[in-house]
Structure 1
Amino acid sequence: MKIKLKHVMAVLTALALLCLYRGTFSQAEFFFQDHVMQRESPVDTQIVIVAVDDQSLEDLGTWPWSRSAHAQLVDTLSEGKPEVIAFDVTFATSSDEESDSEFVDAVARAGNVVLPVYGTFSESARLGAIEAEELSEPFDGLKEAAAATGHINTITDSDRVVRKALYSFNKDGVQVNSFTWEIYKLYMQRLGKQADASKLPLDGFQRFPIAYTSSPNQYEAISYSAVLSGDVPADYFTNKIVLIGPYAVGFNDDYLTPMNDKQAMNGVEIHANILQQLMEQDFKRELDWKWNALVLLASVVLAYYLFRKLNMLLSFLSVAALIAVFIGGGRYLYGQGILLSLGYAVPLLAVSCLAVVIFNYVSELVERRRVTDIFGRYVAPQVVSQILKNGEDGLKLGGSRRVLTVLFVDIRGFTPLSEKAEPEEIVEILNEYLDLTASCIFEQEGTLDKFIGDATMAIFNAPLLLEDHPMKAVRAAWAMKQGSVELEKKLTERFGFGVKFGIGIHTGPAVFGNIGSKTRMDYTAIGDTVNTAARLESNAKPGQIVLSESTYEAVKDRILAESLGEIKVKGKEQGIHIYELEGLK
């Protein structure tokens, strides 16, 4: 079966669909999500971060600080009546009883403090709610005093970038919601509203894509110690959501995000991004792979149509435009809350362009070889190459004048043999002799002009220029004579007598090219040189190679030849001095 472009496109599409289903090229998908989908937008000033930064560590000493400092911070913030206070700092163990008690009382008085828990999981997980093996919670008393608790587990993709938020997991059959969800839920309760988790576009692992608002360090971050010292008045936090978390390098609580794959974002700022997404209800729902597969198929069908209907340049430009539309459409749909997969369709379209180039190149090579093999059985390979090279120009009628060496070879004794052998045997014998003449001509880079019954005509130095073409013609003739010995022996054993070649060679000016009509033409040479060579062949005796004087003068230092004197040939008034080739030096 001949391989066609549609077969190549079908194989590429099948591979792309398989990779899409298995998520093989997730890195390509991540690239488009990060660089095409995610775009910065204004941060919500209602969200404020109180940062445990380097300045605070310098002012308050090394971490961990006394729980009394946290109690003082909660009381100070509470004076300003913020909507929610949330610590992105774990308090899993007790410290001294007095400071712990102060902290518990402050949290209880505030009534709007959310505290974190942290789950530990096994290395593998199956689709569905993830089950935690262990759960680290606030110490006894503090958990009861908190308005809510939520997990701060962060799950990165294979490239260590945080792109999804884990909504919940289970621990001993109890659902543990995320830190940001509990903050958002408490915030909505204080506004007299209700948070609706059914709107979250969760995947099989209870995750949803994060629509980041900002790159690192865009949310307002106030130093922890500045709040304690009163440098920032408490009423500044009125009606705000206050997130308290590490900002210093030593905490190692930072992650790469789609907004910047070089500069890490502090964990508390990632919570701020997720929280703003929840507040704005800016959810991004991933299309099922079947819909993405349908889009991929449609794009490939359109690309194939363009490849078939347009020339290569226009088709490539059209596919490039299609890719641009695809990317623009993906970005538009992202704004509408739909996360379209670009990591497979766009590369597939690009690879399709490359595949078309390779396919066309290989097809042209195969076709050129096929035409050369088939057409070369009827005309010389040089003529085929010239036609393929020049296209239609190579098929125009016309000729060029050049000095050529023309060789004619005929089989002597063929008529008597025809009377004794069957027609099928005659064809077999003739084919063997003609194959011998053709191979000798090609070996010396000559052009096989035509077969004329049991005769062969060859030209040297056309269509391609050939150095020392008289000598190459002489070598071809001598090879024919030597090769005929074995054939003659075979015929003698079979029929009682053999046949020999008669060869004539002449060098001189001639016109060569496409001769004939527009509907039927022949690549050949015409002129007196051709006629003379034919006359020399007709005067050659069985087994004799006759050279004209012009050919002899060009090769005499490299051959053994005997002068046969001057002969008269039909069509010429003056005699021709001829020589018999007896060997090569």
Structure 2
Amino acid sequence: MAKRHGRLSIFAVLLSGLLLSSVTGVGLSLYFGLQTALQNTRDLWITMTSADIADAERIIHDRLAQTARRNVWIATKVAEGAIDPLSPAFWSSQAASLIATEKAIAAIGITTPDGSFIGYDQHNQKVVKEKADLYDMMITSQLLKMGPAQSQTLFPYWQSLIGEAVLGEAIPLFQDGQYLGALIQYLTLPGLSRDLPMQQKDDGRTAFITVADHIIAHPGLSNWQKVNMRTEKSGFIPKSIEEATSVLPRMDQIGDPILSQRARWEPVELGDSLSYALDQRIDASQVVINGEYQIIVTRNDSDGSTNPITFGIHFAPSVFEAEGQRINRLFLIGAVVLLGSVIIAWVIAHLFSRPLKRFSMATRQFEDGDLKALPQLPDSIISEFNDAATSFNHMVHTLHDRARIERIFGKFVPPAIAQTLLTSQSDTGTVPSRKCVATTLFVDLQGFTTMSEKADPQDVVDILNAYFADATAIIEARHGIITQFQGDAILAVYNAVGEQPDHADAALETAIELQKLVHSKQFKGTTLRCRCGVNTGELVAGSIGAPDRLSFTVNGDSVNSAARLEAMNKELGTRILLGETTRNQLSDPSRVTLAKEVLLRGRSETTAVYTIAIDGIDA
């Protein structure tokens, strides 16, 4: 049987194929499902955040616009002479009522060119008349140089009179061509932060507003001011314009790890549909901080101010917690499905491969020729496998029956003849007659008739069976065919069935081995001697008898001559006699010696007969 090298088992192929398909299918479904879920979640929060930013921007714009309109109204009234901005009565009554509903406005007042300040402090609800703030005096000087102008938003700075960082809204006041000073409304940054709607959402998002990289709104701004600006009783008074305008923390100073890593922000690729739906001023960025994925959404606003404002919100990981739990459940379900598919794949592969393995093992045993070891294949729930197992079992039963028939048939018919009959396409049970040159061996026991008369018949049968068993083995080992047992005699032929070129040598060697057999062994305690006649010639081999009772035999003068040569051994005192035709067929004719020229019965002329000396028997 050929060895298998580099072959894959059907179980491995089936399991690999099923696992590949199931793992690939489930894996791709999980991958794309999770990717889609994460992307959808991200896009949803970006959309929600952009809407919140838009609301915050609208509120800031509305508040600044309202503050600017108030400035314009007051400036107009001052120009008309209807309001005296230097009168404390105006600030305690009319100005106080103008900002009463604006909680984010800490104060409103005028800074005059001579460095005085008069106005209304809404937090303390009183009129304030003090030396003007350093930064306010600078603004007042600049507005004088610019002449009458619209209201404008000031860059956030520290207002020493209020003691807070403020966002100023300023406008120059003129009356009868005379510059009276700068009217400024002060919006506190912490108040501005608290009023924003996105600061009121407790959903894990952090909102912020920046102006030129400085924070003006952030949940941590108030605490930062307390720690860094000493806003308690001692107060903080800037000593220069630069110090006043640098009081706001930069993005890397507020203590927010996301904002502090501004340089690491990377753009987020938004889908076409989301990009189309969002405002073009919306930018989405991403950054990984301590292994956590963060998204930052910002919107730049350059309208209405010399200093552009950026509104932004970044997502904390808790934003995705609910969606993350859903995704985790999805992943868990996918893992269970994947594990189930692996188990199912193993079961299916085992279910399909086990019958094939059994069938493969059985066919290899059949190839080895060991019919006794062939298994009975079990039934299978798979129809095709069950049919194959049934057919194989029927074949095995048939082969067992055939082998049994051959064994039984071979006890009555020579194995070579039995094989010829069984392989024949004909059901007649006949062996076609064949005319051929063959060698006939006739063997007869010496003095057995006399012994049989004195011995018990059963003992005679036992002795003969023991002798015939050994003699048959010797004859068939040399490819001889025993055509019949005649009492104590054996008639065998060589080259009658099939081609046997050395048939003469085979017959002679058989005769020699038979002589050695009877001289070296007793049969049931009895010593036997035999004589052998060997002759070669033309004969006819085939089936003879009635149609329902046939036997294989050989006929011809050469067959009769073999029997006559066996009988002549008694006359010449030899054990083996060969005809001249047999001597001429030997591969080494010199092995035999001339015994005598004799006249065989039925012949008109004498013929030479030959014998051979046997080592160990003939001295």
Scaled to the shorter chain, the TM-score interval is 0.3 to 0.5
Asked which structure has the greater CA Rg, the reply is 2
TM-score by length of 1: 0.44
TM-score by length of 2: 0.42
> Which protein, 1 or 2, shows the higher relative CO under an 8 Å CA cutoff with sep ≥ 6?
1
